[in-house]
Amino acid sequence: MGEVVDAEGEPGRAVLGRTLRYLREKAEKSLGQLAEETGYDKSYLYRLEAGERLSKVTVMEDLDGYYGSGDLLVSHWKAARLDAFKDQYKRFMRLEATARVMRVFTPAVPGLLQTEDFAREVLSGAQTTADVDELVEEQVAARLGRQYLLRRKPEPNVRIIVDEVALRRPAARAETWHDQLLHLESAAMWPNVVLQVLPFSAGAHHHMTGSLTLLWQEDGSAVAYKEGNGCSQLDEDPDEVLRRRLSYDRLRDLALSPSDSLAFLRGVLEEHRS
């Protein structure tokens, strides 16, 4: 299908929309027929083809299955989701998508492990309008899409250190927070993920104002990405990456062990249930 992927310089969302339309027309289906046979709303499918909306990755998985197109739509979706982010973050996400080793510290529930409802609450502002709601849904879809990389083969080796403050600031809805805690508990037992809690008892530390992510590629190259105080920085200089790695190691040494972290998380879950 070279004619649907040759789109150098074209926005990812436009490429995805054009590919969706190509596959539908090749299958000789109208939008109405597609909606009826897939269960998706006709107007929603139209907006996807027009490049006006970004779907969840599961929609593309469904449509790839429907058309028998392998992972073509999912591949285009991975590129299209980058449209929702700033240039420096796009560079980071491309590196994240191919990283074999990931080390993360975050003072909040990490985006890689957020449930859909929790992500929606975090990304929603106090004031909502139809336009804002639509933007939030696209951001939610993009955030959930990042989690796709945890399922890829070979699985990346991931260690995430979460500040205790993230576990003491619940979602507005009790059910949302309960589901989020359950998801963290489940993730802590995944074979490729190590989850550690940095407790309040560790005291003040050097990453209290933001998050840090370290990524290693298969060829051994590494980058460090720092976010905080409304700004971000992607470092590729080996000396700076080493400095960031040593700072991460100090946090790891202050954090609870993986088994103690799981016990701590289960304690928080029990407190919430009571």
Count CB neighbours of 233 within 10 A: 13
Lowest mean pLDDT among 41-45, 57-61, 131-135: 131-135
> Between helices 130-146 and 57-67, what is the axis angle to 10°?
70
Q: How far is CA 65 from the centre of its chain?
A: 23
CA distances from 179 to 123, 126, 137, 183, 236 (A): 17, 22, 19, 6, 37
Instruction: Assign 203 to helix, strand or coil.
Output: coil
What is the C-alpha to C-alpha distance for residues 216 and 94, in angstroms, rounded to an integer? 12
Q: Cβ(147)–Cβ(78) under 8 Å?
A: no
What gap in Å lies between CA 25 and CA 40, rounded to an integer? 17
Q: How far apart are CA 128 and CA 209, in angstroms?
A: 28
Residue 194: its pLDDT value, please? Answer: 97
Domain residue ranges in the chain: 2-82, 86-113+143-273
> Would the CATH topology of 2-82 be identical to that of 86-113+143-273?
no
Task: Quote the CA–CA distance of 242 and 220 in Å, as a whole number.
Answer: 13
158: enclosing H helix or E strand: strand 157-163
Residue 86, pLDDT above cutoff 70: no
Looking at 61-70, 95-104, 132-141, 148-157, which range is the least confident one?
132-141
Residue 211 to residue 46: CA distance in whole angstroms:
38
Q: Is the pLDDT of residue 244 over 70?
A: yes
Mean pLDDT for 228-234 is 79
Class of the domain covering 86-113+143-273: alpha beta
- Taking the model in full, what pTM does it have? 0.70
Residues 78, 145 contacting (CB under 8 angstroms):
yes
Residue whose C-alpha is closest to residue 111's, from 138, 147, 139: 147
Q: What is the pLDDT of residue 7?
A: 42
User: In the beta sheet, which residues pair with residue 211?
Assistant: 227
Taking residues 186-190, what's their average pLDDT? 96
- Per-residue pLDDT at 144: 87
Q: Provide the pLDDT for residue 176.
A: 96
Task: Find where tokens 């992927």 sit.
Answer: 5
Question: According to the model, what pLDDT value does residue 90 have?
Answer: 75
Give me the architecture of the 2-82 domain, per CATH.
Orthogonal Bundle (1.10)
